[in-house]
Amino acid sequence: MRAKYFLPLVANTTSYTSLSKVARKAEELGYDGIGFGEHFSQPRKPNGRPDPFVALSALVSATSKLRLGTLASSTATKHPVTLANSALSLHSISGGRSFLCLGVGSGKETEYSSHGFPFVSAGERLDAMEESLAIIRGLSMNRGGLFHNGRLYKLNGSTLNLEGEFPPIWVGERRSRRLLQLAGKYADAINIHCSGPAQAQMKLDIVQEAATAAGRNGESVSAILKHFVVMENDSDLLASALDYTGLKREGETRTSFVDRMRKEDPEAIIGTPYDVREELGRYIAAGFDQFSPILLPNGVTGVEERMGVFASKCML
């Protein structure tokens, strides 16, 4: 059975022509979905990114099978009712082919403070994430009116704007046991970084244990494995792609530099297309069959060639 691939992209343009071209190409190449991340600008520095829900909505008519979602929306910067309504609207107009991936937010502190957003500390963002997940899951299941009396939000009979199926809820995680537990309690899928099949299984076990403890079917939460992928045909090109000139140490060769980068970021896959395919094969052999490869650099403007190489040489 073929694995599934969801492609995280940076929507670094407002050109519908560019966005739709990449989305159609992803669909033609066999990707199962694409996702746009969400970050607000730094002080006095516009980041050039459109709102992900608006950009994804624009791609509904450009595609027919591709799943469209956020990778990820920060629960620290948006009210959960707003997030839930945006997600349900996208799911409705796309004919049920969207997903909602939520994260705690990974931007610099100034990304929050310059806009007046609270929850700057990691602990506060996790608290906000838990309450948001409880509300969004509650709204998706209780269409008759949700009452919630939390520390951050108070709802008095809140209902979503639209009826119909709610999209699958994903939780994005990198190095947080609490996020794994929250995914088990509230989510349909966990989007995880991992350094190998054993770590991926360990994280999934935590998710499934939390799901069972919450009275859910532990097997109902699936894993989508997320890796930064730097892929070139030889060590010299890999070194350049990894910024050898700017990051090398005194006397360090290109080959030893690439080896050091691999050791410093074991959650990344760095190598030739053959190496990437071999690494994905290890996960598939261990029973994992969903991936979200971050093909660096992954801006919409410039990612098409890497999309094609990955699809033709790495997908299993």
Supply φ then ψ for residue 139, to 5 degrees. Answer: -65, -35
Q: Assess whether the previous peptide bond of 72 is cis (omega < 30° from 0).
A: yes
pLDDT digits (tens), the chain, 316 positions: 799 999 999 999 999 999 999 999 999 999 999 999 888 888 899 999 999 999 999 999 999 999 999 999 989 889 999 999 999 999 999 999 999 999 987 777 888 888 888 767 888 889 999 999 999 999 999 999 999 999 999 999 999 999 999 999 999 998 899 999 999 999 999 999 999 999 999 999 999 999 999 999 988 999 999 999 999 999 899 999 999 999 999 999 999 999 999 999 999 999 999 999 999 999 999 999 999 999 999 999 999 999 999 999 999 9
Q: Round to whole Å and give the CA distance between 13 and 81.
A: 27
Tens digit of each residue's pLDDT (9 = 90 or more) over 261-281: 999 999 999 999 999 999 999
> Both tokens of residue 211?
């799901």
Q: Round to whole Å and give the CA distance between 63 and 228.
A: 25
| Domain residue extents for the chain | 4-231+272-313, 234-266
Assigned CATH topology for domain 4-231+272-313: TIM Barrel (3.20.20)
Residue pointed to by tokens 């094609």: 308
> Both tokens of residue 49?
């990114």
Supply φ then ψ for residue 234, to 5 degrees. Answer: -155, 175
